[in-house]
Chains A and B, each alone.
Chain A
Amino acid sequence: MERNEPQGEVVLRVRGLRTLFPVPRGLTGALLRKPQGYVHAVDGVSFSMVRGEILGLVGESGSGKTTTALNVLGLVDATEGELLFKGQSIPELAHSRGRMRLRQEMQIVFQDPYEALNPRQTVFESVAEPLEIHRLVTNRADKIERVAAALDAAGLKPPGSFFDRYPQGLSGGQRQRVVIAGALVLNPDLLVADEPVSMLDVSIRAEILNLLRQVRDERGITILYITHDLATAAYFTDRIAVMYLGRIVEIGPTANVLSDPRHPYTKALLSVVPIPNPRRRRKRLILTGETPNPIDLPSGCRFHPRCPIASEQCTRTDPQLESVNADHQVACIKWADVPAIDEIDGDADRQHLKETQS
């Protein structure tokens, strides 16, 4: 039995996923026979998702969250590891006739609804196109019916009034709804939502997240939510996986991870999310420097150079996920006694704000 797996039908299983991208060596590198370098975009990621759950993959740029999502979608080949979608190997499906099925049953909503839609296609054409590609409709009446149902499910009502409109006549929120309709029209099992609200105005973000949640509730769609924003993840997800430099450093039910974070990185990340109330200003643990380059990974725990509580052992031991309780795992050898933010010396940090890397 896999750890950190809620009860239910497993839709997605990722085990020991690694994705490395070779770094071009250049002529001098080749002549000097320098060793081939690799970007360790994803470096040992395991998690599962059950039907109808919303998992947030949270991390900063370079954490590997998007590469993980592309691996899951079968759009980028992993170097190593197991990827199973409803029990079948994703790489195998992606490289065979199963590709069409994979493309149909997994859908993605991208970040920027201004670029995801073809400006020369009407809303109807955009949403109908996936049906045509997958040859799912035989006659026009059927097509109209299914497009209308998808637009309706995406909250564009009445659907008919949107058929002949072009993206430039729609607001950002409406465009993202069209993108979502284009994903829903194929009745997918898994929806990858890559920062679906970060380009939208604050006042309409909630409605898009609420819509996605409603889609999950009504259709049992499993949603992988990729984001750098802990605040929306806190609100929208059932579970959170925090990523750092190609690894999941902490995973668990959202409420647990937020109220009882164990990894020092999670703690720091939570402490710097701005709180919309000046009466609740709190101590922030601002980490120094930036996420290191994923070509030359730090030894031991990859977070140790920035960790405020790292010890000598952390430079040698590469921590694996350990269970805090049945659902909550953390990859830190000190997880049992990470001090509260208030007890961590943030000032030691501050000195170094003057960055030291060359």
Chain B
Amino acid sequence: MSLLEVRNLSIDYLREDGTALHAVEEVGFTLEESRSLGLVGESGCGKTTAIQGILRLLPAQGRIVSGEVLYRGTDLFSLSEEEMRKYRWKHLSIVFQGSMNALNPVRQVGSQIADAIKMHEPANNGRQVEARVHHLLDLVGITPQRSRHYPHQYSGGMRQRAMIAMALACSPDILIADEPTTALDVMIQAQILDLLQKLQKELALSIILVTHDLGVVAEMCDDVLVMYGGRTAEYASVDTIFNNAQHPYTLRLLQAFPDVANPSSKLASIPGYPPPLDAMPRGCRFEPRCHRKRAICAEQIPALEAIQPGHYVACPFREDN
């Protein structure tokens, strides 16, 4: 049994006039223990919505249309809200995008981390909670004395570490990190990625990394799911994605990403821009920007096919065909 299996997940946003926008369609993946999955795509591709759906934390207009999220075989969508609450933090935990700016500015960082522990593990006494907070801070490389400091006394990198500590408060097996390094300087980004790798090893954590940064994915992840227009474009091991990509979008995205070790390589942008939710192409989502499109692409949504064990591509006109 897999640690986490997401099957056929589709999520809509309802508009005021009652019509639905399809933000995520038929997305699925498997996450094993101590593995890391990169969820990659440009803004508006549905990666954050998919994560919110998995945790059942969608905004009010969001609706899960179909799908299953199996955590060690239990379907999270079949649980009551009360039961689901027990899974969050204890089994699956998340560091939201930009959450380092969500710390309460007038409360000590340590006591904010303690809240999470008290809420989910009320059996702990005060001393146990404090010891746990100190342990968590130590784990993320913050000296425990800093637990009494306020967020403004922390730098951006330290606030992000504190958010990671908070997410680990109830010892989850799965940590979801949504763009954890996006607003940080390169060196701080490297420190945070290094920390995530260390935690993954020490705590046998599984990580889902949501990002638009292919470089970060290449350095951090075992498997990669490339999303475009709410759908899976390609899903494979990290080596396959970077060295044997088959979907035209994956290939073009790789060509658009600058490589500091190979600066003379040609950098080619993808013409056009990602489709807005309210104007999705009828057929393949990538068709309007695709360099390999045929007539049928505008009509029919391509099925996700396994072209090799563990390598899924949603394009019949892929590179090796």
Contacts and interface: CB of A to CB of B under 8 A. Distances in A.
A172 B276 CA distance: 12
A60 B253 contact: no
Contacts of A334: none
B187 A287 contact: yes
A229 B143 CA distance: 30
A277 B242 contact: yes
A172 B273 contact: yes
Interface string B226-260: 00000000000011001100000000111011111
Contacts of A290: 155, 157, 185, 187-188
B186 A206 contact: no
Interface in A224-239: 228-232, 234-235
B186 A60 contact: yes
Contacts of B238: 278
Contact of A272 (B190, B257, B259, B271): B190
A277 B260 contact: no
B199 interface: no
A131 B217 CA distance: 45
Nearest to B153: A358
A26 interface: no
A355 B142 contact: yes
A96 B7 CA distance: 67
B185 A60 contact: yes
Nearest to A235: B258
A255 B261 CA distance: 10
Nearest to B181: A274
B258 A232 contact: yes
Contact of B268 (A206, A279, A354): A206
Chain A interface residue bracket vs B: 35 or more
B253 A280 contact: no
B159 to A, nearest CB: 12
A202 B273 CA distance: 10
B43 A201 contact: yes
Given A201-B42, A290-B157, A354-B138, A273 B253 contact: no
A203 B239 contact: no
Contacts of B219: 274-275, 278, 281
Contacts, number: 143
Nearest to B254: A276
B260 A203 contact: no
Most interface-central of A171, A210, A279, A355 (chain B CB within 10 A)? A355
Interface in B131-158: 138, 141-143, 155, 157-158
Interface in B28-71: 42-43
B259 A205 contact: no
B189 interface: yes
Nearest to A285: B190
Residue among B187, B238, B252, B270 having the largest count of chain A Cβ atoms under 10 Å: B187
Interface string A242-276: 00000000000011001000000000111011111
Given A274-B216, A275-B218, A210 B269 contact: yes
Nearest to B238: A278
A177 B97 CA distance: 28
B204 interface: no
A254 B262 CA distance: 12
Interface in B199-213: 212-213
Contacts of A103: none
Interface of A: 60-61, 171-174, 201-210, 228-232, 234-235, 254-255, 258, 268-270, 272-281, 284, 286-287, 290-291, 350, 353-356
10 contacts: A202-B42, A203-B274, A204-B270, A273-B260, A274-B216, A275-B218, A275-B260, A275-B261, A276-B215, A287-B187
> Which 3 A-B residue pairs are closest in the complex by CB-CB distance?
A274-B215, A207-B269, A272-B190
